[in-house]
């Protein structure tokens, strides 16, 4: 269970790296991909609490990932709002 969650966080974090690389040029697509990641997080029930039994470092790493996804989404919303003259 934990190994599967670790791998999910690892792969989704790499996907966020890809999104960051093109988000300024294609913010709509980046937002769509970020929303897909959020759906996967919910489907897989990825939560920092699950890592509490492993170590504090693992739990903090998971929370950092979750925070990064939210921050990316907020940044993309702001970018899109700014691009339409709002």
Whether the predicted model's global pTM rises above the 0.85 cut: yes
Selected residue with higher pLDDT from 1 and 67: 67
CA proximity to 41, closest of 74, 17, 63: 63
pLDDT band of residue 84 (cuts 50, 70, 90) is: low
Given a cut of 80, is residue 73 above it in pLDDT? yes
Convert the pLDDT of each residue in 15-37 to its tens digit.
999 999 999 999 999 999 999 99
CA proximity to 62, closest of 24, 14, 8: 8
Percentage, residues of the chain above pLDDT 90: 88
Q: Tokens 């190994």 sit at which residue? A: 3
Q: Tokens 């890809």 sit at which residue? A: 18
The pLDDT value recorded for residue 1 is 84
Percentage, residues of the chain above pLDDT 70: 97
């Amino acid at each position: 269970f934990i190994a599967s969650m670790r791998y999910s966080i690892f792969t989704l974090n790499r996907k966020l790296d890809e999104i960051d690389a093109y988000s300024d040029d294609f913010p709509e697509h980046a937002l769509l991909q970020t929303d897909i990641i959020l759906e996967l997080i919910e489907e897989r029930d990825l939560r920092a609490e699950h890592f509490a039994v492993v170590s504090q470092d693992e739990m903090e790493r998971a929370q950092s990932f979750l925070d990064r996804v939210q921050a990316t989404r907020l940044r993309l919303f702001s970018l899109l709002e700014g691009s339409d003259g709002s």
